[in-house]
Structure 1
Amino acid sequence: MHSPNFKMQVNSFELFALLLCSCLFGIILAIYSMSNLVSDREIMLMSSLYITMVIFFFMQQHNKKALVEYLARHSSDIEKNQIMDLQESHRRRILSLKTEHVNEVRQLQSAVLTASAKFDRVNTEYNWMSDAYQDQMRTIQEQQDRIDYIENKLREFGQTTPTTQQPFSAPATQIAFAAPPRRQFFDFGTPGLRPLSQVVEASEAEGQ
C-alpha cells in the first residue's frame, strides 16, 4: 500500500547506493559460502554494517515521509505561525525605524536651533556694527557740515581759514605770570578789632 509512495520518495542516488551495497554484500556472502577467504567474524561485521545501513536508510525515508505528512496536516498552522512571526518582525522593524526617525529629527532640530542661534548672533553683531558705522559717518558728516558752514561765514566776512597749524604753546613774548598776592595788614585801631594782648588782659581781669 505504501510502496508507491515509498518509491516516489527515493531519489536515484539513494537507490543506486542501496543496490550497490546489496550487491557487494551478496558477493561477500557468496564468497563466504564457497570458500574460506572470509571468516565468520568478518561476515558478521559486514552483516551488522549492512543491516545498520539499511535501517538508517529506511529511518531516513520514514522521517521524510513523517515530516511531509506533518507539514501537510499542519500547513495552515505553520502558515499562521509564519505570518505571526513576520508581523512581529515587521512591527519591531517599524518601531526601530520610528525610534531612529525621532532621534534623527531631534538631532536635526538641535542642529537647526544651533545654526539659528549663530545666525541671530551674527546678525545682531552686524546690525550693531552697521549702526555704529552709520553713527560715525553721521558724526563725520555733521562735523564736515559745520566746517563748511564756518568756512562760508568766514568767506562772507572776507576771512579764510588758516592753512598753517597753530603751535601747541604760546610764544615766549606772550607768556605773562600774575603777580603774587600781597600780605594784608589789619588795623586794630578800628572799632570791632582788638589785638590779642588786649583780649588776654580782659579775660584775666574777668577772672579776678
Structure 2
Amino acid sequence: MKKVTTIITFALLLFVISGLGSNVQAQASEKSSGDEIVKKANDLAEKYGFKAVSDENISTEATLNFDSIEEFEVFLKTEQEKNNISEELNEVAQLSQKVMSLANTTKTYTYKEYTGVSVITSYAQVTRNSKGIVTNVNVWSDQSGINVPIKYLETTTFYTLNSSKTGGTATIKGTKFYGVNVVGQEVGYSNPVTYTVSF
C-alpha cells in the first residue's frame, strides 16, 4: 500500500511539474511574440520618422489601439502624409490672411493641426505700423482638448521677415509624443514636427 501511495504521489508531482513547465513555456512564448511585435512596430515607426521613447510624456491611461501591425503602419503613413500636406495647406491659407492684414495694425495669424481629440495651434501675433512695416512679432503654440494619447511639447520658435519687412514666416518646432498599443503591446513614440505661419 505504501508503494502505491508513493507512486501516486510521484505521478501527481510529475503532473504538477509538467503543468508548470508548459505554463512557463507559454509565458516565454507570449513574451517572445510580444518582443517581435514591439520590434516590428519600432522598425515601422523609424521608417516613417518616429522615434521609440520611454518617457513620462507617454500616457499609458489612454493609447491609440491597433489590432495589427498593418493597421499601425497605415496610421504612421497617414501621420507622415499629414505633416507633408499641412505645410502646403498652410501656405495657401496664410496668403489670403496676408492680403487681408494690410489694413490692420495688430493681427494674429494661426495654423491648426487636428489630432483627433485635440488641436495643436501655432500663432504669430504681428504688429505693423501705418506704413505696413512689421514692428513686433510674438510666436507661440499650444495644444487644446485632450492631450492623450497624443501629447505636444513646443521646443523652439522664431520668425524671419522678408526684405521689405512687411511680412514673413513664423516657425514653431516641437515634438509629438504618441502612446500606442499595437496588438496588445504598449509602446511610445516621439516625432519632431515643424509648423509654419506666414504673415
TM-score, length basis structure 1: 0.27
- Which structure has more helix as a fraction of its residues? 1
Larger Rg: 1
Q: Which has the higher contact order (CA 8 A, sep 6+)?
A: 2
Scaled by the length of structure 2, the TM-score of the pair is 0.28
